Amino acid sequence: MHEHKIGHGDLHLENIVWNYHNSRLSKRSKRYTPIRRDFDFRLAYIDFQTSVQFLTEDDCHQVLCDSLGPPLPFRSPEQIEGEDRNGATFDLFAADVYGLGQILIHEASKADALLPLQYSALLSEMTTKEPSHRPSAAEGLKRVQEMM
């Protein structure tokens, strides 16, 4: 989505569909089985009502804060803080990364399993308070692929 210069702006559980249901969780050991490249994981974003398509690569992905956006806890800190300041802007791509990180943390918590340290570190970086310290979506995907 970001590689096509589109920021979603409303990432939360109800706006993502996927073919995952504890598919990698080992019931015996309550640990994730090793990531395998042969699992055909699919994820799709839906509900693009608040999305923005930026026109050029030079756009800095800044949008005005408003009351639209994901519910807590998927709303990024800069979205929450900006609601109280008229004319405040935030990086929509960084907010999307934060929302996706919160979704993945939520799903991992349901698994009641130990996560690989590299994956936990990535989720922590995706949900850090400072937007400029979050990885881009492309960087996050590359790191997950390297874990496989």
CA distance 148 to 23: 15
Mean pLDDT value of segment 109-128: 88
Question: Cα 143 from chain centroid?
Answer: 14
Q: Which pLDDT belongs to residue 37?
A: 54
CA distance 23 to 14: 19
pTM, whole model, 2 decimals? 0.83
Name the pLDDT band for 8 (thresholds 50, 70, 90).
Answer: very high
Query: Higher model confidence: residue 21 or residue 120?
Result: 120
- Among 5-19, 20-34, 91-105, which stretch is predicted with the lowest mean pLDDT? 20-34
Name the pLDDT band for 133 (thresholds 50, 70, 90).
Answer: very high
CA distance 47 to 39: 26
The domain spans of the chain are 2-147
Within 10 A of 18 (CB to CB), how many other CB atoms are there? 12
Percent of the chain with pLDDT over 70: 82
CA distance 23 to 87: 44
Which one, of 101, 97, 96, 95, lies nearest residue 119 by Cα?
A: 101
Q: Tell me, what DSSP letter sits at residue 32?
A: E
What's the mean pLDDT when you consider all of the chain?
83
- pLDDT greater than 60 at residue 32: no
Name the pLDDT band for 25 (thresholds 50, 70, 90).
Answer: very low
User: CA-CA-CA-CA torsion for 62, 67, 71, 77, nearest 10 degrees?
Assistant: 50
Q: Which pLDDT belongs to residue 141?
A: 93
Query: Higher model confidence: residue 56 or residue 48?
Result: 48
Quickly list H helices, the chain: 77-82, 92-111, 117-126, 137-147
Within 10 A of 132 (CB to CB), how many other CB atoms are there? 7
- pLDDT greater than 90 at residue 55: no
Query: Higher model confidence: residue 77 or residue 61?
Result: 77
Domain 2-147 has CATH 1.10.510.10: yes
* Dihedral sign computed on CA atoms, order 7, 123, 108, 80: negative
Q: Which pLDDT belongs to residue 48?
A: 92
